[in-house]
């Protein structure tokens, strides 16, 4: 369980806003271990592969968007989830391929859920305060859809363990992933804390 891994990307807006250090700090201090990290400018083909590794992504993201509009008493751009994600995917390709991103693998118990919690909900307007998206951005679906672009929310974090493993294969070669021991692993995971007192 302590070897669970998740993929986190700092999207181009996070790099441009000089938030790399602040963002890494938030995952690092949770106790998750950094197992891989690189900077790259992804191609739009790579972004399409990244978002479609999960066959349900198109439907789920479209439904999430419709629900979010309706909760605010607004009419969604379409009632068809797949029509919505067709546009979102095109906009995401332009957004994430627009400049350098930081790709990271974070490892530890419940890595996927812990990273999502630290990241916050997809739409910055409603992301909780204290999360990265809640603290550092102010975008909304309403504004991004009106402007014909993806919502700028600084981060990608894998949505499930299965999605994470597939995404990691897409972003990292096996020899770019490092297995190592951190001294703090003992205080996080050891059953007995023998040996602290001399």
Interface residues toward ligand ADP, by CB under 6 A: 61, 64-65, 88, 92, 122, 141, 144-145, 150-151, 153, 156, 159
Please say whether the beta carbons of 78 and 60 come within 8 A: no
- Count of residues interacting with Mg ion (CB under 5 A): 1
Please say whether the beta carbons of 134 and 128 come within 8 A: yes
Q: How far apart are CA 82 and CA 134, in angstroms?
A: 27
Q: Quick one: 61 or 107, whose CB is closer to ligand ADP? A: 61
Q: Quick one: 107 or 158, whose CB is closer to ligand ADP? A: 158
Smallest separation (angstroms) from ligand ADP to the CB of 110: 17
Smallest separation (angstroms) from Mg ion to the CB of 78: 20
CA distances from residue 34 to 2, 96, 114 in whole angstroms, order as listed: 13, 22, 14
Among ligand ADP, Mg ion, none, what binds residue 89 when CB lies within 5 to 8 Å by partner kind?
A: none
CA distances from residue 93 to 7, 42, 61, 188, 197 in whole angstroms, order as listed: 18, 9, 15, 38, 54
Q: Is there a catalytic annotation at residue 110?
A: no
Binding to Mg ion by residue 134, rule CB under 5 A?
Answer: no
Q: Quick one: 88 or 101, whose CB is closer to ligand ADP? A: 88
> Which of 46, 50, 110, 156 is an active site residue?
156
Please say whether the beta carbons of 4 and 109 come within 8 A: yes
Q: Count CB atoms within 10 A of the CB of residue 196.
A: 7
Smallest separation (angstroms) from Mg ion to the CB of 60: 8
Handedness of CA 137, 139, 144, 145 (dihedral sign): positive
Among ligand ADP, Mg ion, none, what binds residue 163 when CB lies within 5 to 8 Å by partner kind?
A: none
Q: Residues 149-178: x/- map of binding to Mg ion (CB under 5 A)? A: ----------x-------------------
Smallest separation (angstroms) from ligand ADP to the CB of 21: 21
Q: How far apart are CA 108 and CA 89, in angstroms?
A: 30
Among Mg ion, ligand ADP, none, what binds residue 106 when CB lies within 5 to 8 Å by partner kind?
A: none
Q: How far apart are CA 11 and CA 95, in angstroms?
A: 8
Binding site for Mg ion (CB under 5 A): 159
Active site residues: 156
């Amino acid at each position: 369980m302590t070897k669970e891994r998740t993929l986190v990307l700092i999207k181009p807006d996070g790099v441009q806003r000089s938030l790399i250090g602040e963002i890494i700090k938030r995952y690092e201090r949770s106790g998750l271990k950094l197992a891989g990290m690189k900077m790259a400018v992804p191609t739009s083909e790579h972004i399409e592969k990244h978002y479609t590794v999960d066959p349900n992504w198109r439907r789920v993201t479209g439904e999430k968007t419709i629900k979010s509009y309706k909760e605010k008493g607004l009419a969604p751009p379409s009632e068809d989830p797949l029509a919505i994600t067709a546009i979102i995917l095109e906009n995401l390709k332009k957004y994430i391929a627009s400049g350098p991103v930081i790709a990271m693998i974070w490892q530890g118990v419940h890595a996927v859920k812990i990273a999502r919690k630290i990241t916050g909900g997809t739409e910055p307007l409603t992301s909780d305060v204290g999360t990265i998206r809640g603290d550092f951005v102010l975008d909304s679906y309403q504004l991004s859809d009106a402007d014909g672009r993806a919502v700028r929310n600084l981060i990608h974090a894998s949505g499930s363990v299965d999605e994470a493993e597939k995404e990691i294969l897409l972003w990292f070669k096996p020899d770019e992933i490092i297995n190592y021991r951190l001294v703090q692993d003992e205080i996080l995971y050891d059953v007995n804390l023998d040996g602290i007192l001399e």
